[in-house]
C-alpha cells in the first residue's frame, strides 16, 4: 500500500468516482476491507479530513457486496491518538463570551436531554464511532498501538477487538478535562461493567494486551509480530461466511438490548424466516446432507 | 433411570395423568428435578417431540411444590446437538416459491418488528428456551458435552451453567447459514459482552471448560467424572433453601433489567414485604436468635 | 480519628452545624472524604441511626466543593455486616395478622409493580445504596472485611470497589429467607452477569479477594496491609482530577443504560459543550500546548 493509493476492486463504471484518500489507506483482500488510519505526524489523530474520508469509504464498503468484513487499524506504531488538542483552543475561544458552568450539573443535564442540538457544519468527528457501530457488516478493530480518546472510541465501536502486545486503550479525555464524547459511556459498561468503566474513565489509565482480554475489553491478544496475520485469519474466515446471517445477527444483538427476552425471540424468528430463503442457507443444508464437514462454501448471499 | 421411566413422586390422583416420556428422562432427588435430554441417535437433538415433552414436564415442575430446582442435562456424551438439519430441507422447499431476500436488510427488519407473526402449529422448538427462562424456580444447566445451536440456547436459558472439562458451547447456527433463532442474541451479551458474543456468533467456534468460566459463559467447571456430583451438590443446596425468596430474587433480576435503580429498589421493597411473611423467613430469624449457625432448616414455603 | 470526631475542614460559618457522629467516623484528606462505618459491637451493621448519619454527611459531601471523592469503608475487621436480625423479629410480629403468601408469586408481583408504597417513617436503611449511587461525585468502596447483605449493597453502590485479601462480599439475605432488598438485583448483573449473580444470590456464598476481581465484582485487590494505602493513592489521584468532567462522566454512564447509542452520543455531545467551558479544560489545553506531560494541575472547577 502506498501512502496514497487507489483501492483495488474498484473498476468499471465506479472507477470514475474512485477517490485518492490522504488520511486513510485501504486495501481489499479476500473480501476484507482493511482501512488504515494514516497520519503519522499526529500519530493518526482523527480530524475532520480523516473523518470525511472514513465516512465516504464506509458508505462504499456497506454498498459493495464484494466487501464483507471491515478491519480497522492505524499506521504503526499508533492506532489512533484521538482528536487534536490544537482544535480545542479554538473551541475554547469561541465559548469565552459564554457564562461559567455550575459545578454540579446533573439537573441541568436532565433539561438538555430533551433539547435538539443545532446541526454542525462539516463531518462530526465524534460521530464516526456511530457510523462504524451502525455498519450492517462485521467489523474488527486491530489495536496495534495506542488508541486514545476518540481513538479508543473507534476501537470500541467495532464488533470485535483484537490487540497486540503493544496495543493499549485509554479514555484520555479526562486528561484534557473532558468527558468521553465518543459514546464510550454507552459502550464500555456493556463490555467491562460499570466499575471498571468508571475506573478507566476517571483516571485515563492505559489498559492493553492480555489485561484487556482479561477484563473483556478485547477478545484476543497476539504477539505484535503476529497481530495482523492473526487478525486477518479471523477476518477472512468471517468474510467467507454467510453474510446475510452475519448482518442480521449483529442487528439482533443491537436490537435485543432494548427488548424483553420474549420480544427478542419473536424478532429472531422473523429474521430466521428471512435468512432461510438465502442461497447460503440452502448451500449449507445440502452440504451437511451430503455428509460434508467444516464450513460450507458460502457465497455471501 | 431406564430409557423410558415413570417419574418418581407422581402418585395418587395425578397418577392417571402420568405419561411415559420417550425423549427425556426425569428423576427427582432431594427436591431437584433432573431432566435429561435423551435421543442418542441424534446426540439429543431438540425436535418437536422432545420439545413437547419438555413443555409438559416443565409445567408440572413449576406446579409441584416438592420440586424446587431444575437440573437440565443430556445423555452422554452430548448435551444437545441443536435442531435437526433434515427439518431444514423441508422448510426450504416450502419457501421455494417466495422471492429472494435483499442482501442488506436492517431496514426491512425494522418493518418486521411491529408485525405479528402467524401462530405456528405444534410446539415451537425455539421457544423452549423462553419456557426455561420464565420458570419461577432456579435452574442449572449441566453441560456435560457439546451444546450446539439451540442446544447452546437451552444452556443459556438456565439461571446458572456448570460445565465439565468436555462440556462446550457453540453458536453453530452460522454454519447452517442461519442466525441464532433461540434468543441467544439477547442472552449472550448479558453474560459475556457484545464483543465476545459477536465473535462466537460470527464464527460458530466452540467455547468450553475453564475458558467458558473465564469469559463468564459458565460459573463453574468440574472434571468430567465429578461434574454431576458437583452440580447436584449445588442443586440440592439451593433446593434446601427458601424457595419463595429464590423465586422472587429471579423475578427481580429479570425485571430490573428494564428499570432504573430507584424503580428496582422500590420493586425489591415490595417483594421483601411479601417474603417477610413466609414461614422460611420466620424459621431463619428464630434460628439465628437461638444462636445457631449455617443454613436454617428451610421448608420451602 | 477518635471514635467520635469533629470533621476536619469544617470551619467558619458552617462550624455551628457540624455534628458529632456516633456510628460513622469521617476524615477529609487531600479532597477525599473517608467515611468509616463504625459500630464494632455489631460489626458495623447498618441500622436506622447509622443510616441517618450517612444520609446527612453525604448531603454535606455533595455540597462541599472541597470534598471531591468518597471513600467508604468500615472499622476493622468488618466492612458492614448488613442489617440487624433483631429488627426482623419485630417486623414479623407486625405482620402476623396478615395472610399467608402464595408459593409462586410472579403474577402477584406484576400487580405490585404499579402500586405506590406508603411512605415509611424514619430513614429507609435499604435506600442508603441509592443515595450513594446518586452522588454526583466519584465513590470508592474499600472492602476491608466481610460485606454482607445490605453491606454488600453499600459496596456495590459505589462507582469502584477495591478489596483486600480479607475483603469479601455475600448476598446473605437468602440465609434469612429474604430477597436482596438493597437493589443488588439491579447492580450485580451489570457487573458480573446474570449467571454469577443468581449463583451468589441463591446460595449466599462469599466471594472475595482475587476471585472478586476475576469475575468483575471488584476492580483491584491489595494485600490487607497495603489496602488503604493503595485505595487512597487511587482516591487522591481522582480527587486531583477535573471534578466537573468526572461528575458528568458518571451521569453519562448511568443515563446511557436506557438510551440507544445514537441518543447516548447526542447526550455526550451536549455534556461536552458544558465541560469545554470549565476552568479545568482550559488549564489542560494550555498545559499540553506548553509541551507539558502527565496530569495537568486541575482545580476541580
Give per-residue pLDDT as tens, A259-294: 999 999 999 999 999 999 999 999 999 998 898 988
Instruction: Kindly state whether residue A285 falls inside one of the protein's structural domains.
Output: yes
Query: All 3 cell numbers of residue A287?
Result: 452440504
Contact A240, A295 (CB under 8 A): yes
Model confidence band, residue A47 (pLDDT cutoffs 50, 70, 90): very high
- In this structure, the answer to whether residues C203 and C269 fall within a common structural domain is no
Does residue C189 sit in the same domain as residue C70?
yes
pLDDT at res. B13: 36
Percent of chain C with pLDDT over 70: 81
Q: Which positions ≥6 away from B267 have C-beta within 8 Å?
A: B252, B255, B256, B259, C109, C112, C113
Q: How confident is the model over A159-172, as a mean pLDDT? A: 97
CA nearest to C128 within chain B: B265
Instruction: Say if A301 is an interface residue toward chain C (CB within 8 Å).
Output: no
Contact predicate C149/C83, CB 8 Å = yes
pLDDT tier at C93, thresholds 50, 70, 90 = low
pLDDT value for C237? 97
Q: Does B97 have pLDDT greater than 80?
A: no
Share of chain B above pLDDT 90, in %: 75
Q: Which pLDDT does position B294 carry in this prediction?
A: 87
Range of the domain at C283: 243-289
SS (H, E, C) chain B: CCCCCCCCCCCHHHHHHCCCCCCEEEEEECCEEEEEECCHHHCCCCCHHHHHHHHHHHHHHHHCCCCCEEEEEECCCCCECCCCHHHHHHHHHHHCCCCCCCCCCHHHHHHHHCCCCCCCCCCCHHHHHHHHHCCCCCEEEEECCEEECHHHHHHHHCCEEEEECCCEEECHHHHHCCCCCCCHHHHHHHHHHHHHHHHHHHHCCCEEHHHHHHHCCCCEEECHHHHHHHHHHHHHHHHCCCHHHHHHHHHHHHHHCCCCHHHHHHHHHHHHHHHCCCHHHHHHHHHHHCCCCCCCCCCCC
At A125 the pLDDT is 86
pLDDT for the residue C123? 57
Which positions 280-299 of A are in contact with B (Cβ < 8 Å)?
280-285, 288-289, 295-296, 298
C265 and C223, same domain (yes or no): no
On whether both C162 and C204 belong to a single domain, the answer is yes
Is the per-residue pLDDT at C251 higher than 70?
Answer: yes
A55 found inside a domain: yes
Query: Which chain B residue's Cα is nearest to A69?
Result: B202
Helix (H, G, I), strand (E, B) or coil at C175: helix
Cα–Cα distance for residue pair A278/A256, rounded to 1 Å: 23
> Backbone phi, then psi, for B43, in 5-degree steps?
50, 45
Please identify among residues 109-138 of chain A the ones whose CB lies closer than 8 Å to any CB of chain B: 136, 138
8 Å CB contact of C182 and B241: no
Which residues on chain B are in Cβ contact (under 8 Å) with A296? 175, 177
Q: Are residues C20 and C80 in the same domain?
A: yes
A148 backbone dihedrals φ, ψ, rounded to 5°? -115, 145
Report pLDDT for A126. 85
Please choose, from the candidates A81, A204, A68, A187, the residue with its C-alpha nearest in 3D space to the C-alpha of residue A144.
A81
CA distance B182 to B171: 10
**pLDDT classification of B124: cutoffs 50, 70, 90:** confident
User: What is the predicted pLDDT for the residue at A18?
Assistant: 47
Q: Neighbouring chains of C at 3+ CB pairs within 8 Å? A: A, B
Query: Measured between beta carbons, which residues in chain C are less than 8 angstroms from residue B188?
Result: none
Cα A101 from Cα C222, distance rounded (Å): 38
Burial B96-134 (b: 16+ CB within 10 A, else e): eeeeebeebbeeebeebeeeeeeeeeebbbbbbbbbbbe
Q: What confidence tens digit (pLDDT) does each residue in C288-298 have?
A: 889 898 899 99
Average pLDDT over residues C191-212: 95
CATH assignment of the domain containing A62: 3.90.226.10
User: In chain A, which residue's Cα lies nearest the Cα of B105?
Assistant: A248
Q: Determine, yes or no, domain membership for C213.
A: yes
Q: At A124, is the pLDDT very low, low, confident or very high (cuts 50, 70, 90)?
A: confident
Helices (H) and strands (E) in chain A, counts: 11, 9
Write out pLDDT tens, residues C5-29: 444 444 433 333 445 899 999 999 9
pLDDT given for residue C228 in this prediction: 98
Substitution target from C252, C259, C290, C292 for chain A, most A beta carbons within 10 A: C252
Closest CA to B277 of C125, C88, C111, C201: C88
Q: What percent of chain A has pLDDT over 90?
A: 75
Contacts of B160 in chain C (CB under 8 A): 195, 198-199, 202
Which residue out of A217, A248, A282, A297 would a mutagenesis test of the B interface target, given it has the greatest number of B Cβ atoms within 10 Å?
A248
Confidence of residue C102 (pLDDT cuts 50, 70, 90): low
Residue B167 C-alpha cell reads as: 462440556
Average pLDDT rounded to a whole number, residues A228-235:
98
Tell if the CB–CB gap between B219 and C197 is shorter than 8 Å.
no
Q: Which of residues 69-88 of C touch B (CB under 8 A)?
A: 85-86, 88
- Tens-place pLDDT, residues B137-152: 999 999 999 999 999 9
> Looking at chain B, which residue has its C-alpha nearest residue C195?
B160
Mind telling me how many Å the CA of C232 is from chain A's nearest CA? 14
CATH number at residue C275: 1.10.12
* C225 touching B (Cβ < 8 Å): no
Q: Are strands C69-74 and C139-143 parallel, antiparallel or unpaired?
A: parallel
CB contact under 8 A, B185 and A272: no
Residues of chain A with C-beta less than 8 angstroms from the C-beta of C276: 88, 91-92, 95, 178
pLDDT for position A135 = 96
DSSP one-letter code for A76: T
Given A179, A194, A195, which is nearest C268 (Cβ)? A179
> What average pLDDT does range A14-40 have in this prediction?
85
B101 in a structural domain:
no
Angstrom distances, CA of residue C204 to CA of B216, B237, C155, C174: 19, 11, 16, 6
Percent of chain B with pLDDT over 70: 81
Higher confidence at residue A9 or residue A126?
A126
- Residue A180's pLDDT band, with cuts at 50, 70 and 90, is very high
Q: Do A203 and C280 touch (CB under 8 A)?
A: no
Instruction: Clarify whether residues B160 and B268 are in a common domain.
Output: no
Q: Which of A99, A103, A199 sits opposite C244 (nearest CB)?
A: A103
Sorting pLDDT into bands at 50, 70 and 90, what band is B6? Answer: very low
Mean pLDDT for chain A?
87
Task: Give the mean pLDDT of C137-163.
Answer: 97
Query: Has residue B38 been placed in a domain?
Result: yes
Q: How far apart are CA C88 and CA B276, in angstroms?
A: 8
For residues C263 and C282, give the distance between their C-alpha atoms in angstroms, rounded to a whole number. Answer: 27
Q: How confident is residue B170, by pLDDT bands cut at 50, 70 and 90?
A: very high
Residue C185: which pLDDT band, with cuts at 50, 70 and 90?
Answer: very high
In this predicted structure, the answer to whether residue B25 has a pLDDT above a threshold of 70 is yes
Residue C207 shares a structural domain with residue C249: no
Closest-CA residue of chain C to B188: C193
Return the pLDDT at C124: 81
Mutate to test the interface with C, among B141, B246, B261, B292 (most CBs of C within 10 A): B261
B108 contacts chain A (CB < 8 A): yes
Is B266 found in the same domain as B226? no
Q: Is residue C282 part of a domain?
A: yes
Nearest-CA residue of chain B relative to A291? Answer: B85
Average pLDDT (B11-27) is 67
pLDDT at B296 over 70: yes
Q: Which of C65, C281, C296, C299 best probes binding to A when mutated, by most A CB atoms within 10 angstroms?
A: C281
CA distance to partner chain C, nearest, from residue A134 (Å): 9
Of the pLDDT bands very low, low, confident and very high (cuts 50, 70, 90), residue C221 is very high
Same domain, A143 and A16: yes
Residue found under cell 494550555: C286
User: In this complex, which of A130, A173, A177 lies closest to C278 when CB atoms are compared?
Assistant: A177
Is the distance from CB of B204 to CB of A273 less than 8 angstroms? no
* pLDDT (0 to 100) of residue C92: 66
CB pairs under 8 A between A and C: 189
- A-contacting chains (≥3 CB pairs under 8 Å): B, C
For residue A2, say if its preceding peptide bond is cis, omega within 30 degrees of 0. no
Does the pLDDT value for residue B122 go beyond 70?
no
Q: Is A262 on the interface with C (CB under 8 A)?
A: no
Which of B264, B270, B288 comes nearest C112 by C-beta?
B270
pLDDT digits (tens, 9 = 90+) for B37-76: 999 999 999 999 999 999 999 999 999 999 999 999 999 9
Beta carbons of B181 and A243 less than 8 Å apart: no
What is the predicted pLDDT for the residue at A9?
Answer: 42
3-state secondary structure of A125: helix
For residue A88, is pLDDT > 90? no
Q: Is A200 on the interface with B (CB under 8 A)?
A: no
* B268 vs C: CB within 8 A: yes
User: Which of A190-204, C107-121, C266-280 has the least mean pLDDT?
Assistant: C107-121
**Residue C26 forms beta bridges with which residues?**
C35
The alpha-carbon gap from B273 to the nearest alpha carbon of chain A, in Å, equals 26
B219, B83: one domain: yes
Give me A178's grid cell: 473532558
Instruction: Find the mean pLDDT for residues C244-256.
Output: 96
Contact list in A for residue C278 (CB cut-off 8 A) is: 101, 177
Q: Is A198 on the interface with C (CB under 8 A)?
A: yes
* Residue A47 distance to chain C (closest CA, Å): 16
Please state the rounded mean pLDDT for residues C129-153: 97
Q: Is the link from the previous residue into B145 a cis peptide, with omega within 30 of 0? A: no
Mean pLDDT over C176-180 rounds to 95
Assess if residue B130 is contained within a domain.
yes
| CA dist., res. C59 & res. A71, Å (int) | 49
Whether residues C109 and B65 touch (CB distance < 8 A) is answered with no
Taking only the tens place, the pLDDT of each residue in B245-269 is: 999 999 999 999 999 999 999 999 9
Q: CB of C181 within 8 Å of any CB in chain B? A: yes
* pLDDT above 50 for B9: no
Same domain, A150 and A255: no
On whether residue A111 sits in a domain, the answer given is no
Sequence-distant (6+) residues with CB within 8 A of C293 are: none
CA distance A53 to A67: 17
Average pLDDT on C272-277 reads 92
Residue-level pLDDT at B109: 66
Task: Provide the number of structural domains found in chain B.
Answer: 2
* Distance in Å, alpha carbon of B95 to nearest chain A alpha carbon: 7
- In this structure, the answer to whether residues C66 and C158 fall within a common structural domain is yes
Q: From the candidates A135, A157, A171, A176, which should be mutated to test the interface with C, based on the most C CB atoms within 10 A?
A: A176
CB contact under 8 A, C272 and A133: no
Q: Which residue among B239, B258, B279 closes a domain?
A: B239
Give the residue from chain A lying closest to C138, CA to CA.
Answer: A202
Q: Which of B131, B188, B265 to mutate to test the interface with C (most CBs of C within 10 A)?
A: B265
Mean pLDDT across A229-235: 98
- The closest alpha carbon to B172, from B208, B196, B148, B140, belongs to B148
Cell numbers of A49, please?
Answer: 479530513
Chain-chain contact of B103 with A65 (C-beta, under 8 angstroms): yes
Amino acid at each position: 500500500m502506498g501512502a496514497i493509493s487507489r483501492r483495488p476492486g474498484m473498476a468499471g463504471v465506479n472507477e470514475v468516482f474512485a477517490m485518492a484518500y490522504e488520511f486513510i489507506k485501504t486495501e481489499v483482500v479476500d473480501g476484507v476491507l482493511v482501512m488504515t488510519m494514516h497520519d503519522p505526524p499526529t500519530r493518526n489523530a482523527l480530524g475532520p479530513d480523516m473523518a470525511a474520508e472514513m465516512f465516504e469509504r464506509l458508505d462504499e464498503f456497506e454498498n459493495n457486496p464484494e466487501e464483507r468484513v471491515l478491519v480497522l487499524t492505524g499506521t504503526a506504531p499508533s492506532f489512533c491518538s484521538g482528536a487534536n488538542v490544537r482544535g480545542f483552543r479554538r473551541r475554547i475561544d469561541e465559548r469565552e463570551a459564554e457564562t461559567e458552568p455550575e459545578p454540579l450539573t446533573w439537573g441541568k443535564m436532565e433539561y438538555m436531554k430533551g433539547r435538539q442540538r443545532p446541526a454542525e457544519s462539516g463531518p462530526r468527528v465524534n460521530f464516526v464511532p456511530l457510523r462504524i457501530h451502525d455498519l450492517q457488516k462485521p467489523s474488527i478493530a486491530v489495536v496495534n498501538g495506542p488508541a486514545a480518546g476518540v481513538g479508543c472510541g473507534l476501537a470500541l465501536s467495532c464488533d470485535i477487538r483484537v490487540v497486540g502486545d503493544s496495543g493499549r486503550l485509554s479514555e484520555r479525555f479526562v486528561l484534557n478535562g473532558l468527558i468521553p464524547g465518543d459514546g464510550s459511556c454507552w459502550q464500555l459498561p456493556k463490555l467491562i461493567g460499570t466499575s471498571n468503566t468508571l475506573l478507566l474513565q476517571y483516571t485515563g489509565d492505559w489498559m492493553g494486551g492480555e489485561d484487556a482480554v482479561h477484563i473483556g475489553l478485547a477478545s484476543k491478544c497476539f504477539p505484535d509480530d503476529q497481530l495482523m496475520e492473526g487478525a486477518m485469519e479471523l477476518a477472512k474466515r468471517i468474510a467467507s461466511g454467510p453474510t446475510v446471517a452475519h448482518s442480521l445477527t449483529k442487528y439482533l444483538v443491537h436490537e435485543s438490548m432494548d427488548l424483553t427476552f420474549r420480544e427478542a425471540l419473536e424478532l429472531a424468528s422473523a429474521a430466521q424466516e428471512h435468512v432461510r430463503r438465502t442461497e447460503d442457507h440452502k448451500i449449507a443444508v445440502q452440504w451437511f446432507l451430503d455428509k460434508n464437514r467444516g464450513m460450507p462454501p458460502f457465497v455471501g448471499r
